[in-house]
Structure 1
Amino acid sequence: MNIVELIRKETSAFQDKIAVIQNDDKLSYKELLVKINKAADELKRNGLGQGDRVGLLCEDSIDYIITCLAVLSVYAVIVPVPDSCSHAETDELIDRIDVNFFIFDRSEYSTESYSNDSKIVFADIVVTKELWIYKRRADNSLPGEYHNLNPAFIRFTSGTTGESKGVLLSHETIVQRTDAANNALDITSDDVVIWMLSMSFHFVVTILLFLRQGATIIICSGSFPDSLQQGLKNNRGTFIYASPFHYRMMIKSDMFPPATFSCYRLAVSTATHLSVSTAADFHRKFGLELSQAYGLIEVGLPFINNSKNPAKRESAGKILPDYRVRIANPNQEGIGEIYIKGKGMFDAYFSPWRSRNQVAPDGWFATGDLGRLDNDGFLFIAGRKKNIINFTGMKIFPYEVEYVINQYHEVQDSLVYANPHNIYGELPCARIVLKNGTTDDFDLNKLRKFCYQRLASYKVPKEFILVKELDRTASGKLKR
């Protein structure tokens, strides 16, 4: 099984259809596959072979797609390196996975450690980038299971490379999880997808699914929101995939009139938690309900909220047909740890090596997230298990408090966290971002009263701090 060969077969009827557009550059499926073949041949001439791990540092682009698929087509393994990483983080990631080759955009990474012994690659193949390749001396004494798994991707689980494990996905796993996701997304060759997310974090389920189905992908890279406005203006889209940050900016900006998404069938929000206020404001302005997606690199995309019911906006949706969910050890409110089982589960952790059977011997994966299921089967996320706030023995779930704070008419976003206390254990506190950006006339006492009316008193933050923005990881999640 090879995902690139599958894309080739599944798009045989769409060879003249445009596959990817970025600014003024566009490639048909035929042109894209020709470039992938040429790039694969050049990789083999550089000594790249089956099972080799290839670090890729490149800005989101047509060239990113070409390079990824070329590597996968020769049964080598992609190790995405986010372009938001510092040089030190990049070096750590490369060393942790011990890649055999490093392909990088020299404008993104130019330290002497690799640049002096590297050479340009794909000079007559790529569209806009100048990519370089460096061959490392890697230790290939890997577990025998590694090659038997038919590996395709190794991706870190978080923005902090030292704390993450490197999740290994096989070609077979990718096919299963893209099939599973399409039960909800229903992507077809008629779709034109507006793409706003980082390919380093969201390539496997989405980009590969869009290509498998013969859709057209519009890459809106560059300065936001100008790049998005240009992409929307020049292309008649049907589907947009973005983060809550992007949707919030569209709500606030006059660059995006109310009719912007009048012809769109779906707007998916992912990467981080979608607040009810953002969902409500987006629907109010554009007349389109946002669909929240809940994904994990170990599992895929098991939940998508396609409900049009405003009362379900806080939910991650219902479990997709190819998955099962259970809530372990629920409390009186039904909140417990979320376990998921189904198709497309990850194959192993790479560093240190642990197979899926070692991590989830019964097939159930412990997500580390806390949540509850309502009577209709909709999942509501309460937060991370490790982020529970313990106030005098009473448990406080940050998402629950943030949900209330974010409903206040002047609040755009919030982060609830714990401060240690020698008597109470931990105190709930909150950082607040206001919608209008100014703090001069904001009345914190009114916000506190709003919270006390909707939360048990011990759950109301003991301190509110007004900030201009909240820190996020490279994938867009709040840093907690």
Structure 2
Amino acid sequence: MKNIPLYEVRPISTLKDMLESSARLYADKAAFLVKTEEGGSYKPITFEQYLNDVNALGTALISLGLSGKRVAIISENRYEWTVAYLAVVNGTGVVVPLDKDLPAAEIKNLLLRSKADAVFYSGAKKNEVETIASELPNLQYLISLDDTQSNGRIVSYKSLMEKGFELVNGGDRRFIDAKVDREGMSILLFTSGTTDKAKAVMLSHKNVCSNLMDMCSMLYIDHNDVFLLILPLHHTYACTCGFLCQIYRGSTIAFCEGLRHIVKNLKESKTTVLLAVPLILESMYKRIWDHAAKDPKLLRKLKLGLKISKILKSIGIDIRKKLFKPIHDNFGGSLRLFISGGAAIDPKVVQGFQDFGIHCVQGYGLTECSPIIALNRDVDYRNNAAGLPLPNVRVKIHNPNEEGIGEIVAKGPNIMLGYYEDEKLTKETIVDGWFHTGDLGYIDEDGFLYITGRKKNVIVTKNGKNIYPEEIETLLNRSPFIAECVVYGRESDSDGDIEVAAEIYPDMEKVKEELGTENPDEEQVRKLIEEEVHKVNRTLVLYKYVRHITIRDTEFEKTTSKKIKRKYDSKK
């Protein structure tokens, strides 16, 4: 192990303490960059203003009788979401962030399960929330982020803010002086599982603050950084790593106008760090090569540049930013780091961005862990590893097999309080303080953690061989003709043994290009995909061969964190 010293971080005990100390340290600096009109320019909101807004809203919520209550938020990413979040957890009650893309019936179910007393919602969810509300007698207040006037049970965010400032200016300190229980439940999160019903995870200030301090001691982030927020805030990865971390470190958060505006917003905000999921980064990387492939001269130039860069770098000369200036300019010219999480990323993509002079690291975590367990450092990393365990988190492999692969278990101050109203599942998942992740992996001699797949996805053949679908999916997805795939186990038609199968969604644009026709028939598409599968099979041991394929004509259904919803129960 390299034993490189950790970065120094300031201690924080609660998110309230974090916000107040950041507002003192970075008072006039921009905490957020927001757009008040589509296509307009970014306007800054300072740390001091943000603290004042949180205090005003928190005071107004207490005046409504919401102290100690559950308050849900259902909205797209926006400044008001962040104000509502800290106004609830920093002295009012328990915050319940919900996925805005859920169907109305599921929103109703989660509001019932969480026993929410109030809900913040945006104009886009107005009809659904207000219709559902009539069936939820426990829901006392509907706080509309976009209505300008209050009407009975529906309270306008704008009027609530005005009321809050009036109360604070009049000396009301109920929220400002409120004591926060750092070890009690303050956050209730519903996981967007790829196969199961949503689990309700209870987190505390202590859980999240320990995670913030640990991750920032491993990866250097400071007040000069600007993050473009592209992932949904209701998800713990975006919330802890893309919002709370930035408030803690004095960085600036720019709100993205939507995935199709990423490149434009990167330039406008002068983003230095982008937090993303593999799907987005792999798509960006693919686009660089697709663009180059259209011009043979440009492609040769790019490949030559990579060769020259590697030779020079080996003797300590780094000219990547100069050599690959068009790529850097396309990402806004200021980007220094990609952070990937939410799922495993193809190591070739990570290496590819590094070769272009944009550092890229990945981490690993789960909602139940607030969320980070392991992280590759900017100064100590392995591109095919999930990372090194956080400084205050212990990670070990439970019941390893002869290859050293077993279930990843973790213990530390970031581990959840438990599953809400599910003591049985909590006891099954946290055993003697160790959280059982359900993920399989191993730890190398230098302490790096590697993920091989989900325990429940493993394909086990009749002679006891373990096959990890994720490994084969990564290889298949490297084909230019395969957009997405899911690998699973099925019973063989011939001998009844378990064989590897793949359902594949082709990249039809690339397929048409390769076949030289706008209307390829099913047989042509199948033949091309089969050839790609055979290429992958040649790199695998015999028992891992993909023996059966089905081709689909629509994308796989995904969670809002862009993970494919796996509907296969691999035969075991």
Identity of aligned residues (%): 27
1:432 to 486, 492, 504: 504
CA distance in 2, matches of 1:25, 1:354: 49
Residue in 1 that maps onto 2:532: 447
CA distance in 1, matches of 2:539, 2:428: 43
Please tell me whether residue 13 in structure 1 is matched to residue 13 in structure 2: no
CA distance in 1, matches of 2:459, 2:352: 30
Describe the shift of the 1:362–1:204 C-alpha distance in structure 2 as closer, same or farther (beyond 3 A): same
What secondary structure is seen at the aligned counterpart in 1 of 2:110?
Answer: helix
Residue in 2 that maps onto 1:209: 245
Give the alignment's TM-score, normalised by structure 1: 0.86
Residue in 1 that maps onto 2:82: 65
CA distance in 1, matches of 2:26, 2:182: 33
1:87 to 84, 104, 123: 104
Residue in 2 that maps onto 1:183: 217
Letter matched to residue 376 of structure 1: D
What secondary structure is seen at the aligned counterpart in 2 of 1:193?
Answer: strand
| Larger Cα-atom Rg | 2
CA distance in 1, matches of 2:276, 2:377: 15
Q: Is this contact kept in 1: 2:440–2:455, CA < 8 A? A: yes
Residue in 1 that maps onto 2:565: 479
CA positional deviation for 1:432? 3.3
Give the alignment's TM-score, normalised by structure 2: 0.73
Q: Deviations over 1:447-469 (max 9, x none)?
A: 23322322122212222334453
Residue in 1 that maps onto 2:543: 458
Letter matched to residue 153 of structure 2: S
Mapping 1:307-346, distance limit 5 Å: 312-346=382-416
What secondary structure is seen at the aligned counterpart in 1 of 2:275?
Answer: strand
Unaligned runs of 5+ in 1: 128-146
| Larger CA deviation: 415-424 vs 398-407 | 415-424
Residue in 1 that maps onto 2:327: 258
Residue in 2 that maps onto 1:394: 465
Q: Deviations over 1:132-164 (max 9, x none)?
A: xxxxxxxxxxxxxxx894321010123479723
What secondary structure is seen at the aligned counterpart in 2 of 1:78?
Answer: strand
Unaligned runs of 5+ in 2: 1-12, 36-41, 134-141, 143-150, 163-180, 292-324, 516-524, 567-572
CA distance in 1, matches of 2:379, 2:535: 27
CA positional deviation for 1:325? 1.5
Residue in 2 that maps onto 1:233: 267
1:36 to 54, 57, 60: 54
More strand by share: 1
More helix by share: 2
Q: Deviations over 1:92-140 (max 9, x none)?
A: 111112212222224224232217973133215779xxxxxxxxxxxxx
CA positional deviation for 1:45? 2.1
Please tell me whether residue 101 in structure 1 is matched to residue 135 in structure 2: no
Q: Is this contact kept in 1: 2:353–2:359, CA < 8 A? A: yes
Q: Is this contact kept in 1: 2:364–2:374, CA < 8 A? A: yes
What secondary structure is seen at the aligned counterpart in 1 of 2:259?
Answer: coil
Describe the shift of the 1:462–1:406 C-alpha distance in structure 2 as closer, same or farther (beyond 3 A): same
CA distance in 2, matches of 1:257, 1:430: 38
CA positional deviation for 1:411? 4.1
Letter matched to residue 436 of structure 2: A
Mapping 1:339-358, distance limit 5 Å: 339-353=409-423
Describe the shift of the 1:331–1:355 C-alpha distance in structure 2 as closer, same or farther (beyond 3 A): closer
Residue in 1 that maps onto 2:309: none
**What CA RMSD, in Å, does the superposition of the two structures yield over aligned residues?**
3.0
Residue in 2 that maps onto 1:22: 34
CA distance in 2, matches of 1:3, 1:405: 43
CA positional deviation for 1:349? 1.4
What secondary structure is seen at the aligned counterpart in 2 of 1:74?
Answer: coil
2:488 to 403, 417, 433: 417
Q: Is this contact kept in 2: 1:338–1:367, CA < 8 A? A: yes
CA positional deviation for 1:169? 0.8
Q: Is this contact kept in 2: 1:248–1:278, CA < 8 A? A: yes
Letter matched to residue 65 of structure 1: T
Residue in 2 that maps onto 1:142: none
Describe the shift of the 1:383–1:359 C-alpha distance in structure 2 as closer, same or farther (beyond 3 A): closer
Describe the shift of the 1:280–1:435 C-alpha distance in structure 2 as closer, same or farther (beyond 3 A): farther
1:120 to 155, 175, 181: 155
2:556 to 456, 470, 477: 470
Describe the shift of the 1:97–1:125 C-alpha distance in structure 2 as closer, same or farther (beyond 3 A): closer
CA positional deviation for 1:165? 2.7
1:151 to 185, 191, 210: 185
